[in-house]
Amino acid sequence: MPRGAIIVDKERCKGCGLCLVFCPQDVLAFSGEHNRSSYDVVCMKHPEQCTGCGFCAQTCPDIAIEVYRQKKPKDGS
Ligand code: SF4
Ligand code: SF4
């Protein structure tokens, strides 16, 4: 089971590719799907490899990515 997942806001994405470069797990790729501004938007090519590290969201200049982390089975509480 992947440790994380992301959601890309397709209309915010400008297809700059920064998130692809900064993802340490090679999760992301251009989807070939174009948004209303004709940008090729990003998708999860290998969702099973996502760790939820958040680098992609921190890198995105357009705040187009939301990251979700899988909760650990025990959180110590
Ligand atoms: S959260 Fe981390 S592993 Fe997942 S897509 Fe973003 S940069 Fe890659
Ligand atoms: S960094 Fe943001 S704007 Fe650039 S391709 Fe990734 S999601 Fe799209």
Tell whether 33 is covered by a domain. yes
| Total number of domains in the chain | 1
Ligand 1 centroid to Cα of residue 27, in Å, is: 6
CA–centroid distance, 17 to ligand 1, in Å, is 13
- The reported pTM is 0.90
Residue 38 lies in a domain: yes
Site to substitute for ligand 2 among 16, 23, 58, most atoms within 8 A of C-beta: 16
* Spatial contact of 70 and 52, defined as CB atoms under 8 Å apart: yes
Does residue 25 fall inside a structural domain?
yes
CA distance 77 to 24: 31
CATH number at residue 27: 3.30.70.20
CA of 29 to the centre of ligand 1 (A): 12
Q: What residue numbers bound the domain in which 55 lies?
A: 4-69
User: Residue 1: its pLDDT value, please?
Assistant: 77
**If you take atom 8 of ligand 1, which residue's CA is the nearest one?**
23
Nearest to 47 by CA among 26, 30, 20: 26
Q: Would you say residue 76 lies in a domain?
A: no
Residue 74 lies in a domain: no
**Where residue 72 falls among pLDDT bands split at 50, 70, 90?**
confident
Q: Residue 42: its pLDDT value, please?
A: 98
The reply to whether 34 falls in a domain is yes
